[in-house]
Structure 1
Amino acid sequence: MNNYKIREIIESDWPAIMRIQNEAYYSTAAESEDVLRSKHLSSPSTCIVCENSAGQVIGYGLAHAYPSHQAPQMGVVIAETITSNNLFIHDLAVEKKSQGQGLAKVLFNYLKCLAIQFNYSSLSLVAIQNADSFWSKMGFEPLTLKSLGPSYDKNASFMLTLV
């Protein structure tokens, strides 16, 4: 594996984050930069990028506190500070040309370490685009919620793991 660096998001990362989001998500509409920035603003220490040895951003993860048995709606700006002992992984994506190198697992493991560091007791997410098999390998289990809400398609799966 090449040399990669994971770090918190800085202002100059946003064009790459938006590019990667547009590449990675094909079954759902891309979220606006304002929506993604709101996730970062609500929890900057748990929103990260992965850059290659040339300093180019090739992946990112956005995670923030959210109640463990609820899923925030996609496309909605987080307007208030949310307190929870659960870290919700809103987004984790790797650019197409860097996929298949284990970077998603590296990004997830980094987020899991942050969850431990910041005393979260669980991690949750909504798996889309048939990503539930990947997340199962990372220790997540599907949970049935009354509803994921209208912003998720019928194949989305709410998942949770303990830290």
Structure 2
Amino acid sequence: MSKDLVIRQLERRDLPAALAIQSQVYPSFLVEPADAFASRLDASAQFSLAAVSDGELAGYLLAHGWPRQSPPPIGAILSPSALSEVLFIHDLAVGANGRGLALGRRLVNRAFELAADQKLLCAELIAVEGAAPYWQSLGFAEAEVSAELEARVAVYGSQARWMTRHIAPLSIG
């Protein structure tokens, strides 16, 4: 296990390494171009996080505030001025050098802390490629969807599932 693991904000300088991890872990139809990925960093950037192990990007969480029940299309350029009603988890990926370190859980938990601080008390995501059980282990559940939302989710693949989770508000200590 790494002695030097840092969770910090994902930055534009991380883009080449993040895109490399994305292309390693996702099928080609889910890999987004650099400009679309970068636009997600500009939309509520504080929720997008990097896990850096021994100086190298080991995993990342691409998340942003977003309007409820309106996942952006794959490859869309996002507007940084979009309404933030929920925390939308767009992408979580861990490279080979980050496996076995519980990076996904750590990144998501940190994003939940940041979201609660901004009064975002619900998280939404599309679980892809059979990942629904993983997200269930983090407290997400499949949610009922309208026909319009179902059509948006279907673009993410035949195994895509719309999932939501409540985020506990910060307790004043």
Using structure 2 for the length normalisation, give the TM-score.
0.86
How many residue pairs get aligned? The number is: 162
Does 1:114 find its partner at 2:118? no
- The equivalent of 1:13 in structure 2 is 14
Alpha-carbon RMSD: 1.6
Structure 1 residue 57: Cα displacement:
0.8
Structure 1 residue 27: Cα displacement:
6.5
2: CA distance between counterparts of 1:14 and 1:44?
Answer: 13
Query: What amino acid sits opposite 1:20 in the alignment?
Result: I
2: CA distance between counterparts of 1:113 and 1:14?
Answer: 24
Q: Which runs of 5+ in 2 are unaligned?
A: 168-173
CA contact (8 A) 1:27 1:129 kept: no
Q: 2:156 aligns with which of 152, 156, 160?
A: 152
2: CA distance between counterparts of 1:51 and 1:106?
Answer: 12
Structure 1 residue 65: Cα displacement:
1.4
CA contact (8 A) 2:30 2:74 kept: no
| Worse-matched range after superposition: 22-31 or 122-131 | 22-31
Using structure 1 for the length normalisation, give the TM-score.
0.91
1: CA distance between counterparts of 2:102 and 2:112?
Answer: 15
1: CA distance between counterparts of 2:104 and 2:86?
Answer: 20
> Residue deviations 1:120-141, cap 9 Å, x none?
0100100001110010011111
Q: 1:161 aligns with which of 154, 159, 165?
A: 165
2: CA distance between counterparts of 1:75 and 1:12?
Answer: 20
2: CA distance between counterparts of 1:15 and 1:126?
Answer: 24
Stretches (4+) displaced over 4 A: none
Percent identity between the two aligned chains? 29
